[in-house]
Amino acid sequence: MYSGTTLTRISGNIIGAHQKIDRIARRQLESLTPGLNFPDISDILHFEGDHGPDSIKRKSPSQDEEWHFIDPFDKTDNQLIDFINYHYKELVKALKTANHERSAFEAAWLAHAIVDGLTPAHHYPYEEKLSELRDGEGNETRDSIKKRLILTGETSVHTIKNNWKMWGPKGLFTTHAVFEMGFATLIAPLTFSDIKPATDYISNVSKKKLGPWFRSVAQYVANMNIYDNFYDTGWTRKLSSQAKNELAPILINAVTAAWYCAYQEAHKSKWPISVFKS
Protein backbone atom coordinates (compact mmCIF):
# COMPACT_ATOMS: atom_id res chain seq x y z
CA MET A 1 0.00 0.00 0.00
CA TYR A 2 1.16 3.56 -0.70
CA SER A 3 3.26 5.12 2.07
CA GLY A 4 4.63 8.21 0.32
CA THR A 5 7.61 8.68 -1.93
CA THR A 6 10.07 7.26 0.67
CA LEU A 7 12.29 10.29 -0.01
CA THR A 8 11.54 11.79 3.41
CA ARG A 9 10.10 10.47 6.65
CA ILE A 10 7.03 12.70 6.37
CA SER A 11 6.35 12.29 2.64
CA GLY A 12 3.27 10.17 3.24
CA ASN A 13 1.74 12.13 6.10
CA ILE A 14 -0.93 13.76 3.94
CA ILE A 15 -1.63 11.01 1.41
CA GLY A 16 -0.13 7.85 2.85
CA ALA A 17 -2.37 4.83 3.32
CA HIS A 18 -0.09 3.14 5.86
CA GLN A 19 0.17 6.32 7.91
CA LYS A 20 -3.58 6.88 7.85
CA ILE A 21 -4.35 3.30 8.87
CA ASP A 22 -1.78 3.38 11.67
CA ARG A 23 -3.25 6.59 13.09
CA ILE A 24 -6.76 5.18 13.24
CA ALA A 25 -5.55 1.81 14.58
CA ARG A 26 -3.59 3.57 17.36
CA ARG A 27 -6.70 5.53 18.27
CA GLN A 28 -8.72 2.30 18.32
CA LEU A 29 -6.10 0.66 20.50
CA GLU A 30 -6.33 3.47 23.03
CA SER A 31 -10.11 3.16 23.18
CA LEU A 32 -9.82 -0.58 23.89
CA THR A 33 -7.17 -0.16 26.60
CA PRO A 34 -7.07 3.45 27.87
CA GLY A 35 -3.69 4.58 29.15
CA LEU A 36 -1.80 1.61 27.77
CA ASN A 37 2.00 1.79 27.62
CA PHE A 38 2.28 1.47 23.83
CA PRO A 39 4.36 3.64 21.44
CA ASP A 40 2.77 6.94 20.48
CA ILE A 41 1.64 7.29 16.88
CA SER A 42 4.39 9.83 16.17
CA ASP A 43 7.01 7.27 17.18
CA ILE A 44 5.36 4.53 15.12
CA LEU A 45 5.16 6.76 12.03
CA HIS A 46 8.86 7.56 12.38
CA PHE A 47 9.40 4.07 10.94
CA GLU A 48 7.23 4.59 7.88
CA GLY A 49 8.12 6.25 4.57
CA ASP A 50 11.88 6.76 4.39
CA HIS A 51 12.41 4.61 7.49
CA GLY A 52 9.90 1.97 6.47
CA PRO A 53 10.03 -1.27 4.47
CA ASP A 54 9.29 0.47 1.15
CA SER A 55 12.48 2.53 1.36
CA ILE A 56 14.65 -0.58 1.05
CA LYS A 57 13.59 -0.81 -2.60
CA ARG A 58 15.30 2.51 -3.23
CA LYS A 59 18.24 2.32 -0.81
CA SER A 60 19.35 -1.27 -1.42
CA PRO A 61 17.28 -2.98 -4.13
CA SER A 62 16.65 -6.71 -3.55
CA GLN A 63 18.88 -6.74 -0.46
CA ASP A 64 17.04 -7.68 2.75
CA GLU A 65 13.86 -6.56 1.01
CA GLU A 66 10.69 -7.87 2.59
CA TRP A 67 8.38 -9.29 -0.07
CA HIS A 68 4.86 -8.34 0.92
CA PHE A 69 2.93 -10.30 -1.72
CA ILE A 70 0.92 -13.43 -1.01
CA ASP A 71 -1.41 -15.90 -2.67
CA PRO A 72 -3.97 -16.27 0.13
CA PHE A 73 -5.18 -19.62 -1.22
CA ASP A 74 -1.73 -21.23 -1.54
CA LYS A 75 -0.99 -22.78 1.85
CA THR A 76 2.68 -23.16 0.90
CA ASP A 77 3.07 -19.41 0.36
CA ASN A 78 4.26 -18.50 3.85
CA GLN A 79 6.97 -15.89 3.29
CA LEU A 80 4.80 -12.93 4.24
CA ILE A 81 3.21 -14.79 7.15
CA ASP A 82 6.71 -15.56 8.42
CA PHE A 83 7.50 -11.83 8.30
CA ILE A 84 4.31 -11.06 10.22
CA ASN A 85 5.03 -13.72 12.85
CA TYR A 86 8.58 -12.42 13.22
CA HIS A 87 7.59 -8.79 13.73
CA TYR A 88 4.79 -9.80 16.08
CA LYS A 89 7.16 -11.87 18.21
CA GLU A 90 9.72 -9.05 18.26
CA LEU A 91 7.04 -6.52 19.23
CA VAL A 92 6.03 -8.68 22.18
CA LYS A 93 9.67 -8.94 23.28
CA ALA A 94 10.22 -5.19 22.95
CA LEU A 95 7.07 -4.39 24.91
CA LYS A 96 8.08 -6.82 27.65
CA THR A 97 11.44 -5.11 28.09
CA ALA A 98 9.96 -1.61 27.71
CA ASN A 99 12.24 -0.94 24.75
CA HIS A 100 10.27 2.01 23.43
CA GLU A 101 12.17 2.61 20.19
CA ARG A 102 12.21 -1.06 19.25
CA SER A 103 8.52 -1.34 20.08
CA ALA A 104 7.72 1.56 17.75
CA PHE A 105 9.81 0.01 14.98
CA GLU A 106 8.22 -3.43 15.29
CA ALA A 107 4.70 -1.98 15.57
CA ALA A 108 5.24 -0.01 12.35
CA TRP A 109 6.77 -2.87 10.37
CA LEU A 110 4.19 -5.37 11.65
CA ALA A 111 1.38 -3.04 10.60
CA HIS A 112 3.00 -2.45 7.21
CA ALA A 113 3.26 -6.19 6.51
CA ILE A 114 -0.33 -6.84 7.58
CA VAL A 115 -1.76 -4.00 5.49
CA ASP A 116 0.26 -4.95 2.42
CA GLY A 117 -0.76 -8.58 2.78
CA LEU A 118 -4.43 -7.64 2.94
CA THR A 119 -4.20 -5.21 0.04
CA PRO A 120 -5.91 -6.63 -3.09
CA ALA A 121 -3.04 -5.49 -5.32
CA HIS A 122 -0.68 -7.67 -3.27
CA HIS A 123 -2.71 -10.79 -4.02
CA TYR A 124 -1.93 -10.49 -7.72
CA PRO A 125 0.97 -12.75 -8.87
CA TYR A 126 3.22 -9.74 -9.34
CA GLU A 127 6.53 -11.58 -8.97
CA GLU A 128 5.51 -14.24 -11.50
CA LYS A 129 4.36 -11.67 -14.07
CA LEU A 130 7.46 -9.54 -13.51
CA SER A 131 9.70 -12.55 -14.02
CA GLU A 132 7.97 -13.22 -17.34
CA LEU A 133 8.75 -9.68 -18.48
CA ARG A 134 12.37 -10.17 -17.43
CA ASP A 135 12.84 -13.38 -19.45
CA GLY A 136 12.50 -15.62 -16.42
CA GLU A 137 14.92 -13.81 -14.12
CA GLY A 138 13.93 -13.74 -10.45
CA ASN A 139 13.18 -10.69 -8.37
CA GLU A 140 16.51 -11.06 -6.52
CA THR A 141 18.40 -10.00 -9.66
CA ARG A 142 16.81 -6.52 -9.62
CA ASP A 143 19.71 -5.31 -7.47
CA SER A 144 20.11 -1.79 -8.84
CA ILE A 145 17.86 1.17 -9.58
CA LYS A 146 18.54 0.75 -13.30
CA LYS A 147 17.45 -2.90 -13.26
CA ARG A 148 14.31 -1.92 -11.38
CA LEU A 149 13.41 0.72 -13.95
CA ILE A 150 14.47 -0.86 -17.25
CA LEU A 151 13.41 -4.31 -18.39
CA THR A 152 15.88 -5.39 -21.01
CA GLY A 153 15.01 -7.93 -23.72
CA GLU A 154 16.89 -9.88 -26.35
CA THR A 155 16.30 -7.12 -28.90
CA SER A 156 15.48 -3.42 -28.73
CA VAL A 157 11.93 -4.16 -29.89
CA HIS A 158 11.56 -6.78 -27.17
CA THR A 159 12.85 -4.28 -24.62
CA ILE A 160 10.32 -1.66 -25.69
CA LYS A 161 7.46 -4.16 -25.54
CA ASN A 162 8.43 -5.39 -22.08
CA ASN A 163 8.72 -1.89 -20.68
CA TRP A 164 5.36 -0.95 -22.19
CA LYS A 165 3.79 -3.95 -20.43
CA MET A 166 5.41 -2.74 -17.20
CA TRP A 167 5.03 1.05 -17.35
CA GLY A 168 2.37 1.68 -19.99
CA PRO A 169 -1.38 2.08 -19.45
CA LYS A 170 -2.63 -0.95 -17.52
CA GLY A 171 0.97 -2.10 -17.24
CA LEU A 172 2.02 -4.34 -14.37
CA PHE A 173 3.50 -1.59 -12.19
CA THR A 174 1.20 1.17 -13.45
CA THR A 175 -1.95 -0.67 -12.45
CA HIS A 176 -0.49 -1.55 -9.06
CA ALA A 177 0.63 2.02 -8.36
CA VAL A 178 -2.58 3.68 -9.57
CA PHE A 179 -4.64 1.34 -7.41
CA GLU A 180 -2.63 2.05 -4.27
CA MET A 181 -2.39 5.79 -4.88
CA GLY A 182 -6.13 5.90 -5.56
CA PHE A 183 -6.94 4.06 -2.33
CA ALA A 184 -4.67 6.37 -0.35
CA THR A 185 -6.40 9.40 -1.88
CA LEU A 186 -9.85 7.99 -1.16
CA ILE A 187 -9.23 7.47 2.56
CA ALA A 188 -7.08 10.57 3.17
CA PRO A 189 -9.96 12.91 4.16
CA LEU A 190 -11.89 10.30 6.18
CA THR A 191 -11.89 10.13 9.99
CA PHE A 192 -13.38 6.64 10.41
CA SER A 193 -14.85 7.89 13.68
CA ASP A 194 -17.74 5.43 13.39
CA ILE A 195 -15.66 2.36 12.58
CA LYS A 196 -16.77 -0.81 14.33
CA PRO A 197 -14.42 -1.79 17.21
CA ALA A 198 -11.91 -4.55 16.46
CA THR A 199 -13.18 -6.88 19.18
CA ASP A 200 -14.29 -9.59 16.75
CA TYR A 201 -10.90 -9.50 15.05
CA ILE A 202 -9.13 -9.81 18.39
CA SER A 203 -11.28 -12.78 19.36
CA ASN A 204 -10.54 -14.51 16.06
CA VAL A 205 -6.78 -13.97 16.39
CA SER A 206 -6.92 -15.60 19.80
CA LYS A 207 -8.87 -18.59 18.47
CA LYS A 208 -6.99 -19.23 15.23
CA LYS A 209 -3.45 -18.06 16.01
CA LEU A 210 -1.88 -15.23 14.07
CA GLY A 211 -0.84 -16.93 10.81
CA PRO A 212 -4.06 -18.87 10.10
CA TRP A 213 -6.13 -15.83 11.12
CA PHE A 214 -4.23 -13.56 8.75
CA ARG A 215 -4.63 -16.00 5.85
CA SER A 216 -8.38 -16.27 6.46
CA VAL A 217 -8.76 -12.47 6.37
CA ALA A 218 -6.61 -12.28 3.22
CA GLN A 219 -8.83 -14.90 1.57
CA TYR A 220 -11.92 -12.89 2.48
CA VAL A 221 -10.43 -9.76 0.90
CA ALA A 222 -9.31 -11.68 -2.20
CA ASN A 223 -12.83 -13.00 -2.70
CA MET A 224 -14.10 -9.41 -2.88
CA ASN A 225 -12.41 -9.23 -6.34
CA ILE A 226 -11.59 -5.55 -5.84
CA TYR A 227 -8.34 -5.57 -7.81
CA ASP A 228 -9.82 -7.49 -10.78
CA ASN A 229 -12.72 -5.08 -10.91
CA PHE A 230 -10.35 -2.12 -10.70
CA TYR A 231 -8.32 -3.45 -13.63
CA ASP A 232 -11.48 -3.71 -15.73
CA THR A 233 -13.17 -0.44 -14.81
CA GLY A 234 -10.83 1.81 -12.82
CA TRP A 235 -12.12 3.67 -9.78
CA THR A 236 -15.87 3.65 -10.27
CA ARG A 237 -18.24 5.09 -7.66
CA LYS A 238 -19.25 1.60 -6.54
CA LEU A 239 -15.66 0.38 -6.25
CA SER A 240 -14.59 3.52 -4.40
CA SER A 241 -17.41 3.04 -1.91
CA GLN A 242 -16.41 -0.58 -1.37
CA ALA A 243 -12.80 0.43 -0.78
CA LYS A 244 -13.72 3.09 1.76
CA ASN A 245 -16.54 1.32 3.57
CA GLU A 246 -15.41 -2.31 3.48
CA LEU A 247 -11.71 -2.66 2.71
CA ALA A 248 -10.36 0.23 4.82
CA PRO A 249 -12.10 -0.91 8.05
CA ILE A 250 -10.72 -4.42 7.53
CA LEU A 251 -7.16 -3.08 7.27
CA ILE A 252 -7.58 -0.82 10.30
CA ASN A 253 -9.13 -3.51 12.50
CA ALA A 254 -6.50 -6.06 11.46
CA VAL A 255 -3.68 -3.76 12.59
CA THR A 256 -5.53 -2.90 15.80
CA ALA A 257 -6.05 -6.57 16.61
CA ALA A 258 -2.39 -7.49 16.05
CA TRP A 259 -1.16 -4.60 18.20
CA TYR A 260 -3.69 -5.32 20.93
CA CYS A 261 -2.82 -9.02 21.12
CA ALA A 262 0.90 -8.24 21.21
CA TYR A 263 0.36 -5.79 24.05
CA GLN A 264 -1.77 -8.22 26.03
CA GLU A 265 0.71 -11.04 25.48
CA ALA A 266 3.64 -8.89 26.55
CA HIS A 267 1.89 -8.03 29.79
CA LYS A 268 0.81 -11.64 30.37
CA SER A 269 -2.86 -10.85 30.48
CA LYS A 270 -5.20 -13.78 31.01
CA TRP A 271 -6.79 -13.12 27.62
CA PRO A 272 -5.87 -13.61 24.90
CA ILE A 273 -3.47 -16.48 25.38
CA SER A 274 -0.36 -16.32 23.19
CA VAL A 275 -1.26 -15.94 19.52
CA PHE A 276 2.29 -16.45 18.30
CA LYS A 277 2.83 -19.96 17.01
CA SER A 278 6.46 -20.87 16.55
pLDDT in tens, 167-202: 888 888 888 889 999 999 999 999 998 888 888 888
Which residues are CB-neighbours of 16 under 8 A, at least 6 positions away? 2, 3, 4, 48, 49, 184
Q: With 80 as the cut, is the pLDDT of residue 46 above it?
A: yes
Is the distance from CB of 41 to CB of 23 less than 8 angstroms?
yes
Which residues are CB-neighbours of 63 under 8 A, at least 6 positions away? 56, 143
Q: pLDDT by residue (tens digit) across 127-140?
A: 777 777 776 665 55
Which residues are CB-neighbours of 25 under 8 A, at least 6 positions away? 111, 252, 253, 255, 256, 259
Q: CA geometry: angle at 180 spanning 174 and 181, to 5°?
A: 85
Distance CA 155, CA 39 (A): 53
Overall average pLDDT of the 19-28 stretch: 94
Distance CA 68, CA 54 (A): 10
Percent with pLDDT over 90 in the chain: 53
Answer with the residue of higher pLDDT: 151 or 220: 220
Q: With 80 as the cut, is the pLDDT of residue 117 above it?
A: yes
Answer with the residue of higher pLDDT: 148 or 21: 21
Helices marked H in the chain — which ranges? Answer: 17-32, 41-45, 56-59, 79-96, 100-117, 126-133, 145-149, 156-167, 172-187, 199-208, 210-222, 226-233, 237-242, 248-266
Q: With 50 as the cut, is the pLDDT of residue 278 above it?
A: no
Q: What is the pLDDT of residue 62?
A: 46
Answer with the residue of higher pLDDT: 142 or 129: 129
Distance CA 275, CA 278 (A): 10
Overall average pLDDT of the 253-261 stretch: 94
Question: What is the residue type of 205?
Answer: V
Overall average pLDDT of the 7-34 stretch: 82
Q: With 60 as the cut, is the pLDDT of residue 23 above it?
A: yes
Give this prediction's pTM: 0.83
Q: What mean pLDDT, rounded, does the chain reach?
A: 83
Residues 220-253: b if buried by 16+ CB within 10 A, e if exposed: ebbeeebbebbeeeebeeebbebbeeebbbbbbb
